[in-house]
Structure 1
Amino acid sequence: MRTTLILNANIVNEGELFQGDVLIKGQYIEKIGKDLSSTKADRVIDAKGKYLLPGVIDDQVHFREPGLTHKATIYTEARSGVAGGVTSFMEMPNTNPPTFTQELLEQKFQIASQTALANHSFFIGASNDNLDEVMKTDITKVCGLKIFMGSSTGNLLVDDPVKLEQFFSQFPSLIAAHCEDEQTIRNNTAAFKEKYGDDIPVESHPLIRNAEACYKSSSFAIGLAKKHGTRFHILHISTAKETALFDNSIPLEKKKITAEACIHHLWFNDNDYKRLGNFIKWNPAVKSANDQQEILKAVLDDRIDVIATDHAPHTLEEKSNPYSKAPSGGPLLQHSLTAMLEFYHQGKMKLEKIVEKMSHNPAILFQINKRGYIREGYFADIVLVDLERPWTVTKGNVLSKCGWSPLEGVTFKSQVTHTFVSGHLAYENGVFDESVKGLRLTFSR
């Protein structure tokens, strides 16, 4: 088995920062030590001055395959993530067709096994009529069940109270949900259409998809989860009000109800619509500076457990439509770690906390086997970062298939130099080695 020895790294792991060496053998971390320089290895990397982190695990991405591959593919988006230090992803079911059956789910796993540079899992989706199919899910091999409780179209929107009760009471593992109250959004949309016609300004987005819509749906869903003892995870919290729904008094391992914050709700606020327009149009909406600050506070005090991206590419042409026709979502996967490292440079967040929220906690929350940490015997999903290598995001260096980023023009102080995926050096200083693909995630449930 091929061995790689990383020497003199500043290792950030499990709440500590220390200098050390790491020996990788095959897919796994063989040894962690203070002085392994005499150890023989096929490849030696001197990481002096660099920081070694566990690979990022992103629990919410939309890679558009099958059916929407003009926007993105599993290959292109996983590749973009690996360049940014993302070693594992969990992808959502709103493809075409939606991932409502075990057969469609396995088709995605097949595509990923052949094309994805990163490790992977896929959510099965809930509809108003697929409970029997959902209950066939092998929860040791699938990350969870995704329910769109508002803010979706067609059969992806589960709005039948009886069906929701059935999912929450019967599914034996993690349910993740997008929570926005559809009726509130429809009422607000109608009011803004009456005022502006088809020319609604994009600055209205957080007023249409407002805090009330989010809180009403989130609080309802949490009530349902508490009633049935469901293991429930709320995605992309976007309001200060919602942060009060979550608990930080117990360890993550014991939490039944958990929450996620996304990069865009931490990075942007409603003042940015004037500059970026539809390019920061997401659902749930980017809201006020106060919401932004309170979400960060909830991340820091552990009411919010993980940081992810909700990476959801659309083409430039689609995003250039008027507000009412422009789709919501944008690409962030390639820049998620470097964006959060800016919070470190700004003194807002420690490196240890970034690693906790982007690597350790997703592994705990989803019960992922042998990933998310730098530990002997664990898969070697690790990332080397130079904290003092500035670079600027441009269209020319965006790797997502859509070819744009809302972060264009931003100069990051940090850069990912090496990404190991299950022991394979998949990315090194701008060069990919695509000879080995990522692995399917498994779960200890």
Structure 2
Amino acid sequence: MNTVLIKNAKIVNEGKIVEGDVLIEDEFIVEIAESISPKSPNCKIIDAEGNYLIPGAIDDQVHFREPGLTHKGTIETESRAAVAGGITSFIEQPNTVPNAVTQEILEEKYQIAARTSYANYSFMMGGTNDNLEEILKTNPKNVAGLKLFLGSSTGDMLVDSSAALEKIFSSTKLLIAVHSEDETTVKENLEKYKLQFGDDIPVQYHPEIRSVEACYKSTVKVIELAKRTGARLHVFHISTAKELDLFTNKIPLEEKQITAEVCIHHLWFSDEDYATKGNLIKWNPAVKSADDRKALWAALLDDRIDVVATDHAPHTLEEKKQVYTKAPSGGPLVQHAVVAMFEAHHQGKISVEKIVEKMCHNPAKIFKIEKRGFIKEGFYADLVIVNAGLPWNVKKENIIAKCGWSPFEGYNFKSRISHTFVNGELVYQNFKVKDKKVGKRLLFETEL
């Protein structure tokens, strides 16, 4: 039996921080108490005194690029980066090549992950204008949900037929997650700037092309559709202040039929950063104004926004260095997301308890993930030790994502992930990922 005892930790769980010990046996947390004595001479003891013990973060939106785009990243390389960043479970998106829009292609991704993933995994089924039959075959017990691109992004998965959307929303009880930008608005804006600049549009116009209005128009439409059909809707990567009044904090999360996510880059960067970061912070939806960023923080704290995620979407530096119209949108974030949120804690923006709520508890609740996202007896031992007072600098030598760069390069973080456990196994310790691909397929509580 694999037995680990974590002692003297500041245990962060369900809005409280309590000093104590956590005992792990094999895959599970078996005891949480003020003081626990080892029950076996083979028990590995880790003294976490002064450090936070948090549930492993659950990233509900990543793009790990396999199959078909593996020069950018693979499930193996990006899950390594994830566990180094304290993310122990991920939900990956269907715009790989081929797109995961049939049950056979979707299952192939699960088989790759079963062999190669360091973190726990689920893969979303992809929706198109004409694959409803395949969508309805999806098993909600072992697939996180359905992803729809209402605005085009990496890959060719745009769902732009109103009739198809209506049919999908009316027919499935799967959670529907959406990339919400109005395609017509984006295209019209792009053509306007191409007339002025050709292909070499200065990247600071990205938030004018992927505009506030493009986001708002699409989100209004999809929320109205969800309300009319009773569908369960989760809106990915909210980026504008204008969209926030479309979401509520008047009811408990468990009762919400419509939920929202914000990503690290929209909380961290603003349009002022395009001057120094250029295409490295080109995302869809775009990083927008400092006022939008401030409003996103307010909505995160007052619970109109439910989840913090990464939208980790690596591209090579060579790809990012191309002119605006050819440079792809997206960037690597899983390794630095948790410490970036702890940085915000150091700046007085958010409590550690709230970080855990938004990155660990709430994704587990929204997706109804079995036995993960909390530090509880009987739950899987997905655990992360965070030293909030051990600074480090992000540099090429310690970036783990395959693409080899980060928008945080050169930044000094005040907090460090010292240990990451996945299913009771210590998979990461102090800048070293151990060769333990112990990730499991996530399962979901469902009555369907």
Equivalent position of 1:23 in the other structure: 23
Gaps of 5+ in 1: none
Equivalent position of 2:133 in the other structure: 132
Report SS of the residue matched to 1:334: coil
Q: What is the alpha-carbon distance in structure 2 between the residues aligned to residue 357 and residue 248 of structure 1?
A: 14
Equivalent position of 2:439 in the other structure: 438
Equivalent position of 2:227 in the other structure: 226
Q: What is the alpha-carbon distance in structure 2 between the residues aligned to residue 366 and residue 295 of structure 1?
A: 22
Q: What is the alpha-carbon distance in structure 1 between the residues aligned to residue 70 and residue 154 of structure 2?
A: 19
Q: What is the alpha-carbon distance in structure 2 between the residues aligned to residue 401 and residue 35 of structure 1?
A: 41
* Shift, 1:436, TM fit: 4.2
Map 1:176-191; keep pairs closer than 5 Å.
176-191=177-192
One-letter amino acid of the structure 1 residue matched with residue 202 of structure 2: P
Map 1:274-313; keep pairs closer than 5 Å.
274-313=275-314
Q: Structure 1's 369 and 153: CA in aligned 2 closer, same or farther, altered over 3 A? A: closer
Map 1:22-171; keep pairs closer than 5 Å.
22-40=22-40, 42-152=43-153, 155-171=156-172
Equivalent position of 2:334 in the other structure: 333
Q: Structure 1's 71 and 131: CA in aligned 2 closer, same or farther, altered over 3 A? A: same
Gaps of 5+ in 2: none
- CA contact 1:362–1:372 (8 Å) conserved in 2: yes
Q: What is the alpha-carbon distance in structure 2 between the residues aligned to residue 337 and residue 303 of structure 1?
A: 21
Structure 1 length normalisation: TM-score? 0.99
- CA contact 1:7–1:37 (8 Å) conserved in 2: no
Equivalent position of 1:323 in the other structure: 324
Q: What is the alpha-carbon distance in structure 2 between the residues aligned to residue 155 and residue 96 of structure 1?
A: 9
Matched, 1:425 2:426: yes
Could you tell which deviates more after superposition, 188-197 or 91-100? Answer: 188-197
Q: What is the alpha-carbon distance in structure 2 between the residues aligned to residue 155 and residue 390 of structure 1?
A: 41
- CA contact 1:128–1:155 (8 Å) conserved in 2: no
* Shift, 1:428, TM fit: 1.3
- CA contact 1:78–1:118 (8 Å) conserved in 2: yes
- CA contact 2:4–2:25 (8 Å) conserved in 1: yes
Matched, 1:268 2:269: yes
Equivalent position of 1:257 in the other structure: 258
One-letter amino acid of the structure 2 residue matched with residue 205 of structure 1: H
One-letter amino acid of the structure 1 residue matched with residue 179 of structure 2: H
* Shift, 1:39, TM fit: 3.8
* Shift, 1:195, TM fit: 1.5
Report SS of the residue matched to 2:335: helix
One-letter amino acid of the structure 2 residue matched with residue 11 of structure 1: I
Q: Structure 1's 14 and 154: CA in aligned 2 closer, same or farther, altered over 3 A? A: closer
Q: Structure 1's 413 and 35: CA in aligned 2 closer, same or farther, altered over 3 A? A: same
* Shift, 1:437, TM fit: 1.7
* Shift, 1:309, TM fit: 0.3
Report SS of the residue matched to 1:333: coil
Q: What is the alpha-carbon distance in structure 2 between the residues aligned to residue 115 and residue 198 of structure 1?
A: 39
Q: What is the alpha-carbon distance in structure 2 between the residues aligned to residue 289 and residue 221 of structure 1?
A: 26
Q: What is the alpha-carbon distance in structure 2 between the residues aligned to residue 174 and residue 269 of structure 1?
A: 30
* Shift, 1:193, TM fit: 1.1
* Shift, 1:151, TM fit: 2.2
* Shift, 1:395, TM fit: 1.2
* Shift, 1:432, TM fit: 2.3
Q: Structure 1's 300 and 37: CA in aligned 2 closer, same or farther, altered over 3 A? A: same
* Shift, 1:216, TM fit: 0.2
Q: What is the alpha-carbon distance in structure 2 between the residues aligned to residue 292 and residue 222 of structure 1?
A: 22
Structure 2 length normalisation: TM-score? 0.98
One-letter amino acid of the structure 2 residue matched with residue 369 of structure 1: E
Matched, 1:379 2:380: yes
Map 1:205-244; keep pairs closer than 5 Å.
205-244=206-245
* Shift, 1:2, TM fit: 1.0
Q: What is the alpha-carbon distance in structure 1 between the residues aligned to residue 339 and residue 57 of structure 2?
A: 11
* Shift, 1:175, TM fit: 0.3
